[in-house]
Amino acid sequence: MADHRINDKAEKKAILVISFGTTYPEALKVSIEAIEQRIKEVFATYEVRRAFTSRTVIRILSKRDGFNIDNEREALLRLQKDGYSEVYIQPLHVVPGAEYDKINQLVSEYTRMDCPVFKKIALGRPLLANTGQGETRDDYLTAIAAACKQVPDLEEKEAVVFMGHGGQHPANAAYALLQRKFEEAGYNHIFVYTVEGAPSLQRVMAKLKEKSFSKVLLMPFMLLAGDHALNDMTGPDEDSAQSQLTAAGFQVRSYVHGLGENTFIQDLYIQHLQDAIAAFAGHNVVKNTN
C-alpha cells in the first residue's frame, strides 16, 4: 500500500469514515473500529473521524449509552468549524444504496458551493461499485476473493449461503451481479440472498436442492454481524434463514462474523480511500489487476 505520511503542516487533512452504524457494541468494536484503526495506521498524519448515517442508531446510542455520534452532516460541519481544509470520506457501505446516496448528495452540495468551505473534498466508493470496465478494478472480484478467505473449511455437500441486506433501491441489483460473479469465478457452491430484496432465500433454496446440496453454511455479506445476522439469519423464529433451511431438510451451521472483521476486506476499503485521494490529486486510479 502507498504511504500517506506527508509533511504538510499548512493544510489540515481529515478522513471521515461513515457507516450505517450499529447498536451492538461488540460488532462496533470488531468491524467499524477495526477498520478505523487500520485507516489511522495507514494515514498517520490525517485526523480520522466517525459518522453514522442512521438517525435511529444514533438516537438509541445517545439515549441508551450516552454515546453521541455525529451523522454525516454534523460531522462535516464539525470538520469545517475545526478548520480542516481537505476532507476525504470513506463509506463502509457494501453497495451504493440509499445510505450511500445521503453521503454522495451531501458531497455534491459542498462541491457546488460558490465559496467552498473545503479546499478538497472527495468521496470513496463502497465495497461493491466498479465492475471492471475500462481501466477500473473489478470491486466484485476483489471482494469475492477477500470474502472467500473468511469462509471456514467446508464439509462434503455443503454450500455457502451469504446473506446481504437488499432493498428497493436500484443498487439492490448488485447482489444478483455478485451471484453471477461468484459463478463466473468458479464458486458454484456459493449462493447469495438478501433480507429485503432479490435474490430471495426461496430462490436460493431451490438452487441448493437442484444441485443436491444437503448442508448449508450461513454467513452475512454485511459489514457487521448485528441485528440482521443475529435475528433474520440465525434467529429462533420460524422465518429466520436458519429455521427455513432446517425446515426444508438442510443441515445448517452459521459463521456469524461481519465482513468488517476480515482484514482482506479492510484492505479493500483502504484501497478505495487511496483511489479517491489519488484521483483527486490528479494521479491515475489503480488499474484493474484481476
pTM over 0.85: yes
Measured CA to CA, the distance from residue 212 to residue 30 in angstroms comes to 36
State mean pLDDT over 7-15: 72
State mean pLDDT over 6-12: 57
User: What pLDDT is stored for residue 195 in this prediction?
Assistant: 96
> Residue written as cell 469475492?
144
Residue with more model confidence, 199 or 135:
199
Residue 287: band (very low, low, confident or very high) from pLDDT cuts 50, 70, 90: very low
User: What pLDDT is stored for residue 5 in this prediction?
Assistant: 41
DSSP SS3 for 139: helix
Whether the upstream peptide bond of residue 199 has omega within 30° of 0, thus cis, is yes
| Domains delineated in the chain | 13-130+262-280 (3.40.50.1400), 151-256 (3.40.50.1400)
pLDDT per residue over 185-243, tens digit each?
A: 999 999 999 999 899 999 999 999 999 999 999 999 999 999 999 999 999 999 999 99
First-residue to last-residue Cα distance in the chain = 17
pLDDT per residue over 254-280, tens digit each?
A: 999 999 999 999 999 999 999 999 987
Measured CA to CA, the distance from residue 12 to residue 177 in angstroms comes to 40
State mean pLDDT over 8-21: 86
Tell whether the model's pLDDT for residue 174 goes beyond 90: yes
User: What pLDDT is stored for residue 236 in this prediction?
Assistant: 94
Residues 101, 256, 49: CA angle, nearest 5 degrees = 40
**Active centre residues (catalytic):** 165
Q: Contact 277/120 with Cβ under 8 angstroms?
A: no
Name the percent of the chain lying above pLDDT 70: 93
Tell whether the model's pLDDT for residue 283 goes beyond 80: no
Name the percent of the chain lying above pLDDT 90: 88
